[in-house]
């Protein structure tokens, strides 16, 4: 799935061993159910070790840092650390370099997320008619990730995202063709909704708020889940076979069971249990 136009593999999996702990420094934490403390952007997390690894990695959920367990940079961390800044870390570099690194990281992270969706779109056979456009956008997006710190800092990411979104929307329409007349659920407020056993086949759930929704046994086959907020949603025994644009962080933020059926683009979260 992860191929560029030149058939080289894209590096879209986070590799913390090649990153300088950027997500633990560049991003802000707000004291909440997801984070045990407040932390300002650019301030190193107290749990970050000298080797740029997390000191409580195996205890994040128990220590109140659930938000860290569901975060994924899609490989942006190692791209910024090793490519954009050539292996110069924020501790040994100048303060100006550190600030630029922290500013650039979220930009590259957004671009890598787009690469993740574009790469998956190329595997959707029903969307073949837009594959040429998708390939061109993928190549352009990858090129943008290789820009200088200044170029990345000046990049209009929302404008580029909008261009990508046009093709992803068309791919979604082609994938969901034949779904018949269904209630529009794009961006819907479904927080805490009772959707146990609901027929959501080929549903457009782009950007839907499904926080704490009961989706036990729901049929989500072929649904578009791009940007859907699944925090604490119950996917016990739900069928997500063929669901697309679902990322691992989305799934990791939900609850589920061994009985849930998942698309091949994601893996069953370790915290899911057979009975919950």
Which tens digit of pLDDT belongs to each residue from 209-236? 999 999 999 999 999 999 999 999 999 9
Question: Which of 108, 91, 77, 80 has the alpha carbon at shortest distance from 15?
Answer: 77
CA 207 to chain CA centroid, nearest Å? 13
**Average pLDDT along the chain:** 93
Give the number of other CB atoms < 10 A from CB of residue 87: 9
Q: Quick check: 273 pLDDT over 80?
A: no
Share of the chain above pLDDT 70, in %: 96
Q: What is the pLDDT of residue 68?
A: 95
Q: What is the pLDDT of residue 9?
A: 62
Which domains can be identified in the chain, with CATH numbers?
Answer: 16-175 (no CATH), 182-276 (2.160.20.80)
Q: Quick check: 12 pLDDT over 90?
A: yes
Per-residue pLDDT tens over the stretch 80-129: 999 999 999 999 989 999 999 999 999 999 999 999 999 999 999 999 99
> pTM of the entire structure?
0.92
Six-digit token pair at 71? 């975060």
Q: DSSP for 214-262?
A: B-TT-B-TT-B-TT-B-TT-B-TT-B-TT-BS--HHHHHTSB--TT-B-
Question: Which of 76, 82, 104, 84 has the alpha carbon at shortest distance from 13?
Answer: 76
């Amino acid at each position: 799935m992860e191929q560029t136009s030149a058939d080289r593999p894209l590096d879209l999996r986070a590799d913390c061993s090649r990153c300088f702990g950027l997500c633990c420094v560049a991003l802000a934490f707000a004291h909440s159910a997801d984070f045990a403390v407040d932390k300002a952007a650019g301030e190193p997390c107290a749990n970050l070790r000298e080797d740029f690894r997390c000191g409580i990695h195996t205890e994040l959920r128990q220590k109140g840092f659930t938000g860290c367990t569901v975060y994924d940079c899609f490989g942006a961390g190692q791209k910024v650390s090793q490519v954009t800044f050539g292996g110069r870390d924020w501790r040994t570099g100048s303060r100006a370099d550190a600030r630029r690194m922290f500013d650039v990281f979220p930009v590259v992270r957004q671009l890598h997320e787009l690469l993740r969706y574009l790469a998956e779109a190329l595997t959707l056979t029903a969307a073949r008619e837009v594959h040429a456009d998708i390939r061109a956008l993928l190549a352009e997006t990858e090129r943008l990730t290789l820009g200088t710190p200044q170029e990345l800092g000046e990049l209009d990411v929302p404008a580029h995202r909008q261009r990508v979104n046009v093709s992803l929307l068309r791919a979604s329409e082609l994938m969901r063709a034949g779904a018949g007349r269904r209630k529009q659920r794009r961006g819907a407020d479904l927080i805490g909704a009772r959707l146990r056993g609901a027929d959501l086949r080929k549903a457009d759930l782009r950007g839907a708020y499904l926080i704490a929704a009961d989706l036990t046994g729901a049929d989500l086959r072929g649904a578009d889940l791009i940007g859907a907020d699944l925090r604490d949603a119950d996917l016990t025994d739900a069928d997500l076979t063929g669901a697309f644009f679902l990322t691992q962080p989305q799934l990791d933020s939900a609850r589920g069971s061994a009985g849930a059926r998942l698309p091949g683009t994601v893996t069953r979260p370790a915290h899911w249990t057979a009975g919950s």
